[in-house]
Structure 1
Amino acid sequence: MTPVETLRGETVAVFGLGGSGLSTLAALVGGGATVAAWDDGDKARARAAAAGFPLVDLASADWSRFKALVLAPGVPLTHPEPHWTVKRAHAAGVAVIGDIELFARERAARAPNAPLVAITGTNGKSTTTALIAHVLREAGRDVALGGNIGVPALDLPPPADHRVHVIECSSYQIDLAPSLKPTVGLLINITPDHLDRHGDLTHYAAVKERLVAKADIALVGVDDEPSRAVAARIASGPGRRVVAVSGGESPLAEVFVDGRRIVSCDSAEPPIDLEAARALRGAHNGQNAAFACAAARALGVASQDIARAFATFPGLAHRMEEVGRRGRVLFVNDSKATNADAAEKALLSFRDIHWIVGGKPKAGGIEPLRPLFGRVAKAYLIGDATEDFAATLEGAVPFERCNTLSRALEAAARDAFRSRAQEPVVLLSPACASFDQFANFEARGDAFRAEVHYLLNGEP
C-alpha cells in the first residue's frame, strides 16, 4: 500500500466504495487522514462499514470541513451531468480528485524522480500495460503494475527511485488526476468511446491528451487523426520529447511495424522480430508491441532483452489467450470479444477457424464481420444470438446450433481434429455479451479454459 501522507490531518470525503474506493480509504487512513465514506448503494456502504471505515451521509454533511472529495472513476464528473457529490464539492470550493491523483501527489512528495509509466488509449491499453511490465521484470527491474488493469494504484508499494510503476489509466481516472506527470506517457489511440461520459469526441480526446501532455517522454500513436493532432500539439510545445508510434508503416512514425518487425528510425536500434511472440498475433498487437518497445527503450532496456521478453509474454486472460493445443489444433480463449469490433481482431489473426460465437447480442450483430467469413471453417452458435447469427451466416459459412458453450466446444474440437488444415483453431470469440448464460465475460472464458483442459487432459 501507498499511504497518502500528503493529506495527513485533513478530513477527506470519499464517494464510491468499490475496489478503488476501499483502497483509497485504507491509504488515506494509513497516511493519517480522517475519512468520510459514502455510496448510493446499500451493499457498498455495508462493505465499507464492515471494513471499519466511518460512514457519513454526504448529502447532509458540512462540506466546509472537507479538504477534497475523492471520487470513484465510475461516478460521472461532467456528463451527462455532474454527480450530486460533485455539485456539492464545487459549491463548497472543494477539489474533486481520484485515486490516481493521490498516487501522483505521493510520488511528487516522496520520490519525484521515481520512474512512472502511464498508459492510456481507447483500445489495447491493458495488453500494452501488461507487456511493458513483463519486459521490465524480465530485464530485472522492480515493477509495480496496477491502475485500471486490476490492482488499484494505492494498493501498490510506494514510489521509489529503484521501482518502476506501470499504471494503466482510463479516461475517467485521467479526468480526476490533474497533476499526473509520468516519466513515460503512452497514448496508443483514440476512437469514439464513453461519449456519454465525456460529451463528445473532442472532450474525450482532450482528457486522453492530459496523460501525455506533462510526460517527460510522450509516446503518441499516429494511426488515427485525433492522436496525430495530439502528437503535433505536444511536439510544438517547449521542452517536450515526443515519439510518434505506428502499428503500420506510417511516414510520421519514429517507431513502426514493418510486417512482423518493430523498426526504429534510430539506425542504432536493430529491428525486433515478433514471429516468436505467439501472444502478440495480429496487427493490433503489433501496435501494442511497438509502444511497449518504445517505452522499454526509453527506460534503458536493450533491444535483445525486449525481444526475449516478447517471446515469453503469456498474454492477458480472455484476450486471444492460447489455452491448449493437441497436435495441430490450437484452442484460443477470446471471451473478452463482446462485440463485432473486438472479434474482428481475432478473426484477422487466424485462418481455418472453428468459431464459437454467440451470447447476448449487441446492435449490428456479426454482419460487419462478413468480409472475414472466408477465414471461418465452421461456426458453432450459442446463446440468445443463435437464430440471428444463423440468418447472417446462412449460405456464407457452415454452422451448427449448439446452444451451450460446452456443446459448442465438443463439436468444434471434433471437427478441428478431423481437419487437414495446417493449424486448425478452435476460437471462442463470441462477439456478444455473456449475460444470457454467464455472469460476465471472465466467467465465460474461465469455463471455456476449464473445459479445454478437461478435454485435453481428462482432468477438471
Structure 2
Amino acid sequence: MTPVTTFAGRRVALFGLGGSGLATALALKAGGADVVAYDDSEASREKARAQGIAVADLRAEDWSRFTSLVLAPGVPLTHPAPHWTVGLAKAANVEIIGDIELFCRERAALAPDAPFVAITGTNGKSTTTALVAHILREAGLDVQMGGNIGTAILSLEPPSRERVHVVEMSSFQIDLTPSLAPSVACLLNITPDHLDRHGTMENYAAIKERVVAGSRRAFIGVDDPASAAIYERHSVPRIVQKGWISRTHASAYPVSVERKLDLGVFLDGTRIVLRHRSGSKTDAGLVLCDLAGINSLRGAHNAQNACFAAGVFEALEVVPDYDRTHLRQSIQAALRTFPGLAHRMEEVGRRGETIFVNDSKATNADSTEKALASFERVYWILGGKQKEGGIASLRPYFPRVAKAYLIGEASEAFAATLREEVPHVLCGTLDKAVAAAAADAAAAGEGERVVLLSPACASYDQYRNFEIRGDHFRDLVRALPA
C-alpha cells in the first residue's frame, strides 16, 4: 500500500467503493486523512464499513468541510451528465481528483525523481504496460505495475528512486489527474472511443494528450492522425541537464510500425529500430530487438506495443548504462519469455490445425481489426453490446473470415452488415458459438485456421466484464473433445 500522507488531517469525500475506491479509502485513512465515503451499492458500503471506513450519504454532508472529492474513474465527470457528487463539489469549490492524482502528489512530496512510466492509448495499452513491466523485471529492477490494468495504484508499494511504477491510464483516470508528470509517457494511438463520456473526439484526444504534456520523455504513435498531431506539438527539442553535462534531447520520440523514421522508434521488417538525435545529428539507428518467431507478439498492433516497450527500456534513466550489444540482448531475451496478456490475442488451445484465440478484450472495431489482420482464415465469434459505428469499418477484412458466429444484442445489426459478404449464423450465446465454430473449423480441410473470439463489442449485455467473457471462452475451448 501507498499511504497518502500528503492528505493527513484533511477531510476528504470519496465516491465509488469498487476495488480502486476501497483501496483509495484505506490508503487515505492510513495516511491520516478523515475519509467519508459513499457508493450507490449497499453491498459496497457494507464492505467498506467492515474495513473501518466511515460511510455516509454525501448528499447530507457539509461540503464546506471537505478539501477534496476523490471520484472513481467510472463515475461521469462531464458527460453525458455529471454525477450528483460533481455538482456538490463544484458548488462548494472542492477539487475533484482520482486515485492516481493522490499517487502523483505522494511521489512529488516523497520521491520526485522516482521512476514513473504512464501508458495510454485507445488500444494496446494493457499489453504495452505488461510488456514494459516484464522487460524491466527481467532486467532485475523492482517494478510495481497497476492502474487501469487491474491493481489499484494505491495498493502498490510507495514511490522511491529504486522502484519503477508502470501504470496504465484510461482517459477517465487522466481526466482526474491534473498534476500528472511521469518520467516517461507513452501515447500509443487515438481512435474514437468513450465519446459518450467525453462528448467529442477533440475532447477525448485532448485528455489523452495530458499524459505526454507533463512528462520528462515521451513516446507518441504517429500512425493515426490524432496522435501524429499531438507529436507535432511536443516534438521541439529541449536541454536536459545530467550532472555537469547539458545535451539537447528530443522531448518526444515518434513511434511507427508503418514507415521508417529519421528519428524515433520504428519497425523495419521484424526488427525494432531506435534512432536518437544529439544536437543536430541523428545516429544511424540501433536495432533493439527482432520480433521474428515471438508468437505472443504476433500482428502489427503487438509490434507497435513492442516498439513502445523497447523504447521505454532504453529511455528510462533508472536502467543501467548498457552498451549497445547488452541492451539488445536484454530486450530480446525478455521478449522471448513474455507470455502475452490474458484476453488479448491469447492462444488458449489447439485442436489439430485449429488454433483457438481469446481476444475478449477487443471491445471495439478498431481493436478487433488488429486481430483480423493477424490471421488468414478466421472463424470469427463476435457480438455483445454494440458501440458506435458497429463493424462497418472492418469490411476490408471480411475476405479473411470463413464464417462468423453472432452472439448478444448486436447480432441482428451485425448480420445486416455482414449480409452476403460473410457466411454467418446467429448463435445467441457463446457456448453455441464455440461449438459451431469448432465443428466448422475441424471440417475445413487442411491448413491452419483460427477460431477467434474478438467481439468488437462491450460485454455487459451478457457478462459483467470482458474478463468473465474471455474466461468463459477459455473454459468452453478446454472442454472440447481432444
TM-score between both structures, scaled by the size of structure 1 = 0.91
Cα separation, 2, equivalents of 1:445 and 1:193: 21
Cα separation, 2, equivalents of 1:379 and 1:200: 32
Q: Tell me which moved more, 104-113 or 57-66.
A: 57-66
Change (3 A) 1:241 1:74: same
Cα separation, 2, equivalents of 1:155 and 1:119: 18
In the alignment, does 2:164 pair up with 1:147?
no
> Matches of residues 278-427 of structure 1 in structure 2 within 5 Å?
278-299=295-316, 300=319, 302-362=327-387, 365-386=390-411, 389-390=414-415, 392-427=417-452
* Residue 80 of structure 1, CA deviation: 4.0
**Partner residue of 1:273?**
290
* Residue 250 of structure 1, CA deviation: 5.3
**Partner residue of 2:219?**
219
Cα separation, 2, equivalents of 1:193 and 1:389: 19
TM-score between both structures, scaled by the size of structure 2 = 0.87
- Cα deviations across residues 121-153 of structure 1 (Å, max 9, x unaligned)? 122111111111111112221111000111110
Change (3 A) 1:189 1:385: closer
RMSD (CA atoms): 2.5
* Residue 93 of structure 1, CA deviation: 3.3
SS at match of 2:143: strand
Q: Tell me which moved more, 151-160 or 9-18.
A: 9-18
- Cα deviations across residues 188-241 of structure 1 (Å, max 9, x unaligned)? 122233333333333322222221112111111222233223222223375462
Cα separation, 2, equivalents of 1:65 and 1:385: 47
Q: Tell me which moved more, 387-396 or 56-65.
A: 387-396
Q: Tell me which moved more, 317-326 or 37-46.
A: 37-46
Q: Tell me which moved more, 89-98 or 278-287.
A: 89-98
* Residue 103 of structure 1, CA deviation: 0.4
* Residue 284 of structure 1, CA deviation: 1.7
8 Å Cα contact 1:182/1:215 also seen in 2? yes
8 Å Cα contact 2:237/2:251 also seen in 1? no
Q: Tell me which moved more, 180-189 or 266-275.
A: 266-275
Unmatched 5+ residue regions in structure 2? 240-249, 277-283
* Residue 82 of structure 1, CA deviation: 3.9
From 463, 467, 479, give the equivalent of 1:442. 467
Q: Tell me which moved more, 215-224 or 77-86.
A: 77-86
Change (3 A) 1:270 1:456: farther
Cα separation, 2, equivalents of 1:209 and 1:363: 23
Q: Tell me which moved more, 121-130 or 55-64.
A: 55-64
Change (3 A) 1:349 1:361: same
Change (3 A) 1:386 1:92: closer
* Residue 390 of structure 1, CA deviation: 4.7
- Cα deviations across residues 11-67 of structure 1 (Å, max 9, x unaligned)? 211122222211111001111111111234444333322332112332232223222
Aligned residues: 457
8 Å Cα contact 1:222/1:252 also seen in 2? no
In the alignment, does 2:268 pair up with 1:264?
no
**Partner residue of 1:454?**
479
8 Å Cα contact 1:222/1:253 also seen in 2? no
8 Å Cα contact 2:288/2:331 also seen in 1? no
Unmatched 5+ residue regions in structure 1? none
Q: Tell me which moved more, 192-201 or 111-120.
A: 192-201
Cα separation, 1, equivalents of 2:193 and 2:436: 36
Q: Tell me which moved more, 70-79 or 376-385.
A: 376-385
8 Å Cα contact 2:236/2:251 also seen in 1? no
**Partner residue of 1:112?**
112
- Cα deviations across residues 249-272 of structure 1 (Å, max 9, x unaligned)? 154651112233212224352252
- Cα deviations across residues 277-313 of structure 1 (Å, max 9, x unaligned)? 2122222222111111111111237222212222222
Cα separation, 2, equivalents of 1:231 and 1:357: 34
Identity of aligned residues (%): 60
8 Å Cα contact 2:288/2:310 also seen in 1? no
**Partner residue of 2:264?**
254
Q: Tell me which moved more, 235-244 or 301-310.
A: 235-244
* Residue 324 of structure 1, CA deviation: 1.2
**Partner residue of 1:241?**
251
Structure 2 residue identity aligned to 1:257: L
8 Å Cα contact 1:131/1:289 also seen in 2? yes
